[in-house]
Structure 1
Amino acid sequence: MHPSIQSRREVLSGLRQRSQIATADFYRLAGISEPVRAPRFLVSPAGLAFFHIIDSRTGKVKGFRRDHNAACAFARKLEQE
């Protein structure tokens, strides 16, 4: 990966973490519970032995796996990026 792209991703990741911390602090200080967030990536069966990982925002397939556990692991990995 190009160094400028890598540094940009690191900066954006740091900003995303700070935003999530600030939001959690806001809800804690206000004394209300945080709303439950729906997962962005969903695992859906596709045929006999395949599972699609679907982006719920766009409806596009981001990947596929033959094993359900592998598909769920890939979806969790995509959620964290």
Structure 2
Amino acid sequence: MHPSIELGKQVRAALRTRSRIATKDLYELIGRPSPVEKPRFIVKPAGVAFFHVIDSSTGKARGFRRDHNEACAIARRLEAENRP
């Protein structure tokens, strides 16, 4: 990847981190609980023996499994991959 693109990604990641910290500090300052961040990937039952992993931002299925625990593992992996 080109160095300027990589640098831009790092700057945006740092800004997102700082934004989260500032939001948390603001809520502590006014004495209210911080908003809870909702998960992006949700496991939903689909039919009798399947579970779909749904991307909540698009509403599209990103995967499916017969076992609920395996579907949850996929959702956790996708969540970790898409975190800044």
- 2:42 matched residue in structure 1: 42
- 2:59 matched residue in structure 1: 59
> Letter of the aligned partner of 2:40 in structure 1?
R
- 1:33 matched residue in structure 2: 33
Percent sequence identity over aligned pairs: 58
| CA deviation after TM superposition for structure 1 residue 68, in Å | 1.5
| CA deviation after TM superposition for structure 1 residue 10, in Å | 4.1
Q: Which string of whole-angstrom CA distances, capped at 9 and with x for unpartnered residues, describes residues 18-56 of structure 1? A: 221111111112211112333221101223443211112
TM-score by length of 1: 0.69
- 1:18 matched residue in structure 2: 18
Q: Which string of whole-angstrom CA distances, capped at 9 and with x for unpartnered residues, describes residues 59-78 of structure 1? A: 11122233222221221233
Q: Secondary structure at the match of 1:22?
A: helix
- 1:73 matched residue in structure 2: 73
Q: Which runs of 5+ in 1 are unaligned?
A: none
TM-score by length of 2: 0.67
Q: Secondary structure at the match of 1:33?
A: coil
How many positions carry a matched residue from both structures?
79
Q: Secondary structure at the match of 2:28?
A: helix
Q: Which runs of 5+ in 2 are unaligned?
A: none
- C-alpha distance 34-44 of structure 1, shift in aligned 2 (>3 A): same
